[in-house]
Amino acid sequence: MLHLLYGAGLARAIDLGDDVCADCGELDGSSRQKQILRVAGFLLGGVVAGMGAQIFVLPYIDSITGFTVLFASMTGVAAWLATSSTRLSYAGLQFAFAFYIVHLSEFTIQTSLTVARDRVLGVFLGITMMWLVFERLFPRSAADEMVRIFIVNLRLLGDLVSCSPGADDPASIVAVRKLRQDIYRHFGEVNAQMDAVPFETGSVREGDMAARDRIRRWQASLRSFYVLELPLLQFRVFGDLESKTRTFAGLENEVRLGCARIFNAVADDLQEQMTSREHKPSTPVEVLEHLEAGMRGRNVEFSEREQALMRLTRTISQIVDRLQHEVSTEGLYEVRPPEPAVTALVGTESV
């Protein structure tokens, strides 16, 4: 009984600490994906490798060398799983934890199956408590977390495109770099949530899957904007003021401020849909049309570099306009009816 309580307490403490760290760092939310990986890692590491080694391997080991080979082999398997994709990596951590708690809790080879059984049951009890607390008592939907992080990233992109750091102000440059790092990190967090959404069930699953497909498409647009905006940011910060024409600087400022307003408007729209799960169509404001209107009637010759950046600005404007149009016309949780199957009829000619 003492071993059972010890295993249960240690399993609960370490597994809870690991989950808290993972949730804080990766924001994986509460999903059945991690629960499946916990159970798989527990069965492989605790039952198959842990108790299996006690039955079939340890009786033939009489030196530290043999135990070291066993330990290194199981650690290699756990490391191989832990360094795989995010869909499987958590199972590697659970595999290692379950195996280590069976074999590495004492300074001797553990040959008692009773002790191993109690420790494996302790790990199972910890996994059961994790499932009860994080999925039944205090659940967090991965779909809601996905949309929430996407909205945060939209606002961060709005802050990034509207900022004007000075080349002689190191603090502002550091702030911009941190902002870009946060945006890049949130891209990965949204992808992690996308992987977890298919594992969830419930009455709103169909709408969540529709939101997942749209967020995946819209995030691709944000990634393109994030990459293409960097040359404009560098030219805005480090470019020679004398080499910039007033017309280009004015148009570039209007475009980036317009993009910032659109990002914030899209974020507000998605936030409202996340709360009410209802979509209210809105009229988009075209950034590219505003840019073309601003260039009409201005007979200004841009430098070669400004011409390249202006083409880049048009591309960015098209990306933002397309994103705004899709968000304003498509409901985030709107489920499209299945398209009717089209049967091709092959006619025969009479001879």
Q: What is the mean pLDDT of each successive set of 10 residues along the chain, which is 351 residues long?
A: 40 41 41 78 90 88 87 93 82 90 81 83 84 75 90 94 80 89 94 84 85 94 91 75 68 84 92 87 73 63 76 87 90 76 44 34
End-to-end CA distance of the chain: 90
- Model pLDDT, residue 141: 81
Q: What is the pLDDT of residue 230?
A: 85
**HSE toward the beta carbon, residue 270, CA cutoff 13 A:** 29
Q: What is the pLDDT of residue 300?
A: 62
Q: Provide the token pair at 213.
A: 């497909």
- 102 Cβ neighbours under 8 A, 6+ residues apart: 46, 50, 51, 54, 110, 116, 119, 120
The pLDDT, as a whole number, for residue 351 is 34
pLDDT at 220: 94
The pTM for the full model equals 0.67
> How much is the pLDDT for 339?
54
Assess contact for 121 and 4: CB atoms under 8 A: yes
Contacts of 270 (CB under 8 A, 6+ apart): 147, 150, 151, 154, 327, 332
126 residue type, one letter: G
**Among 65, 200, 181, residue whose Cα is nearest residue 140:** 200
Dihedral (CA of 224, 230, 231, 235) sign: positive
